Amino acid sequence: MTIQNSLYRLFGPPGPGAFIEPGAVLALIVLSFLVRKRRPAFRLTLAATVFWLLAFPVVFFLFTEPVNTVFRNSTPQSLPVNWMQLRNQWEYSHAARFVLQLIGFSMLLLSVILETPKERPGDRAGFRQTELETTRR
């Protein structure tokens, strides 16, 4: 309990960790709004936002935070009777959140890949040659 309550102290309020995840979700919502007219990017960004919203706040507040509350109120002398079950719930909820966030991040990455113009090796050289000729004139 001592390690649990000291190691993760900065992840919750009033530490900086309490602002990182909500900030990421808000950034995804804003990004979804900004790319709403770019079809492949919009769909993937919106899907990424949904996965991140499942990770935080849904999984976090349904499974992780209840355990955090019990752990914060416990001491090494007053361990909860179901400590192992709570610890497993805490660990599995973090693993589930990781998977949801990884899927969301992968969708964001795919949206960037799909939106990036495809270049062929000859196109870049041809562009530079034309650019050089224009500059010389």
pLDDT band at 5 (very low <50, low <70, confident <90, very high): confident
Q: How far apart are CA 120 and CA 29, in angstroms?
A: 34
Amino acid at 120: R
Give the model's pLDDT for residue 131: 56
Give 50-106 pLDDT, tens digit per residue.
999 999 999 999 999 999 999 988 888 888 999 999 999 999 999 999 999 999 999
Q: Where are the domains of the chain?
A: 2-136
**Residue 4 confidence class, pLDDT cut points 50, 70, 90:** confident
Looking at residue 116, its pLDDT comes to 85
Tens-place pLDDT, residues 9-58 = 778 777 888 899 999 999 999 999 999 999 889 999 999 999 999 999 99
Rounded distance between C-alpha atoms, residue 7 and residue 113, angstroms? 37
Whole-angstrom CA distances from 126 to 104, 110, 130 are: 37, 28, 6
Write down the pLDDT at residue 127: 55
AA letter at 76: P
Please state, as a whole number, how many other Cβ atoms lie within 10 Å of the Cβ of residue 29.
15
State pTM to two decimals: 0.81
| Residue 126 scores a pLDDT above 70 | no
Q: How confident is the model at residue 8 (pLDDT cuts 50, 70, 90)?
A: confident
Region 109-136: what's the mean pLDDT? 70
